[in-house]
A and B are shown apart, each in its own frame.
Chain A
């Protein structure tokens, strides 16, 4: 009797284990399927662009020439340089500000209605259409501060646009650090700033970097707010270099230079009637995707390096 009930229990548990395995298998296959669809879509877009833009992509002139009315001679040098410099300004402004704001809200701010209000607003700002930021920037940076239609204005605009994303990501990352880690540090006599700087921030880095990547990837693809503030479409000269031969060797004139960026150049070529310009647009799309991937790769590399250093 006792034997048979034991056998029953064993059969029962074996049944549950088998059922759980089936569920696991099912969930895993659904996951792989979804991932496959997403990857396939991205790959097909990329391959499609690559196929239609190939002739221009393999031509070195495409990367060294300025825009032109002749589709065969038109290039994207002004857009590549413009996008890179604007992203540089955006990153330099948005990352420290966003991380600091996220840390403050999560670690230092008292939990009261004001903090809640700020929290809700920051989360909402992450969903505001980018053109609104463009209008804000036009009124504030271009007109009120008289910064003009410059690389600095564009960088500031895109920094505003991605600040909420970085703040939210930083807060999520900081919140996920186990309480025990902080308590252990406090127990050793560390003060709040030491805990944040030496334990919380390093541990939250992967999450923060993910937020930064998502933010910057959004910023590099934006055309609408930059058209609003007055980015150009035809510009056949480059901003001055940030370094110079004479002291003080660095030069910030490039910040006040007019510019264009990749998505605007792409948008202009896509809407032209001549099919040859559409080839240029496809090639520009490929370069833009490669730039985004390169940026992500850099961020992942930095993240891995930091992690290794931290150990």
Chain B
């Protein structure tokens, strides 16, 4: 009994020694951005030698902004730009934010490897497949292009409240919603399995899921506005030739946190340092920004430039062009 008490005391002493007030960086938001922020957080904590702690949640882009605009979190991960309604919420609570691109993702349209008829698809053909009016009507491959065989068309896509879905629909259908009769899953690995097991399938998700499953899937080159079909890849996303399905993903920093908590500012500086960001982003399966874009982002943060460069929906804009804009709001 005495021995037990001694052990407890020793443990307690150890912990209470280590647990005095630690600096905390609170992050929540998109599960798409999570792997990047997790990697940066891990490296940052190592670099700070345990002085600063970082916590990262996965409430989703929308859920993350709800907390961010209440002032509950210091940084919000977002797989799409902040919406007008969220900007309003932030404004009501007096939250100013700095919008910083973290990486690029290339939404990849995939088919089964035994599909020998699709060599590429145009954005117009994808729209024909995915627009709401196609529901129950476009059910055969031959309806998409007359040279395709008369086979049933089965569709797979991410859940309708994911940023990935929002962006795809925006870029392809130019609207807020797509047809509803497709197999939706929040877990992209389920979509991978679905397309891998069905020769008639077509699906879309982030590039990382294609890269990890190259043997089970075939990526479809996409042509836009009469241009040449471009294959989704790290290089083509980085030089902005893969459009309109390349999208930037973001972190939003609470300006007040950045000003009053030095550890939050240190974390963001660490995140936007190209020496850390580029290799980490690549390691977790995303496309790093061009180095110049990280420099521009670091400068933007240093000057505390608040607001968003996005107003309303837009797609197919290169990252360098975005960085050159002056934010408003």
Chain A interface (Cβ < 8 Å from any Cβ of B): 67-69, 149, 227-228, 230-238, 240-241, 243-246, 249, 251, 253, 258, 264, 268, 270-275, 278
Contacts and interface: CB of A to CB of B under 8 A. Distances in A.
A273 B208 contact: yes
Contacts of A238: 15
Interface stretch (B51-59, B164-172, B218-226, B239-247): B51-59
B39 A227 contact: no
Contacts of B209: 273
A7 B208 CA distance: 83
A238 B11 CA distance: 13
B12 A245 contact: yes
B84 interface: no
B31 A271 contact: yes
B276 interface: no
Contact of B57 (A67, A232, A236, A270): A232
A69 B42 contact: yes
* Highest count of chain A CB atoms <10 Å: which of B34, B58, B188: B58
B285 interface: yes
Contacts of A268: 31, 34, 58
Contact of A240 (B19, B212, B283): B19
Contacts of B45: 236
Given A230-B72, A268-B58, A273-B206, 20 more contacts: A69-B38, A149-B72, A227-B57, A227-B58, A230-B57, A231-B57, A232-B55, A234-B34, A237-B53, A238-B15, A244-B12, A245-B16, A246-B16, A249-B12, A251-B12, A253-B19, A271-B186, A273-B188, A273-B209, A275-B212
Given A233-B56, A234-B56, A240-B16, A271 B39 contact: no
A138 B45 CA distance: 29
B322 interface: no
B194 to A, nearest CB: 15
Given A227-B59, A230-B67, A241 B212 contact: no
Contacts of A240: 15-16, 19
A69 B34 contact: no
B16 A235 contact: no
The A contact surface, by secondary structure, is loop
A298 to B, nearest CB: 19
Interface string B61-100: 0010001000010000000000000000000000000000
Contacts of B211: 273
Nearest to B70: A143
B35 interface: yes
6 contacts: A227-B57, A228-B59, A234-B41, A243-B12, A244-B15, A268-B34
B16 A68 contact: no
B8 A243 contact: yes
Contact of A233 (B19, B53, B58, B188): B58
A232 B19 contact: no
Contact of B284 (A69, A227, A237, A243): A69
B317 interface: no
Contact of A271 (B11, B63, B187): B187
Contact of B42 (A236, A253, A258): A236
* Highest count of chain B CB atoms <10 Å: which of A69, A231, A268: A69
A274 B189 CA distance: 10
A68 to B, nearest CB: 6
B47 interface: no
A63 B27 CA distance: 25
Nearest to B213: A273
Given A241-B15, A245-B12, A236 B188 contact: no
A148 to B, nearest CB: 8
B15 A69 contact: no
B126 interface: no
Contact of A245 (B13, B213, B283): B13
Contacts of A251: 12, 16
A241 B11 contact: yes
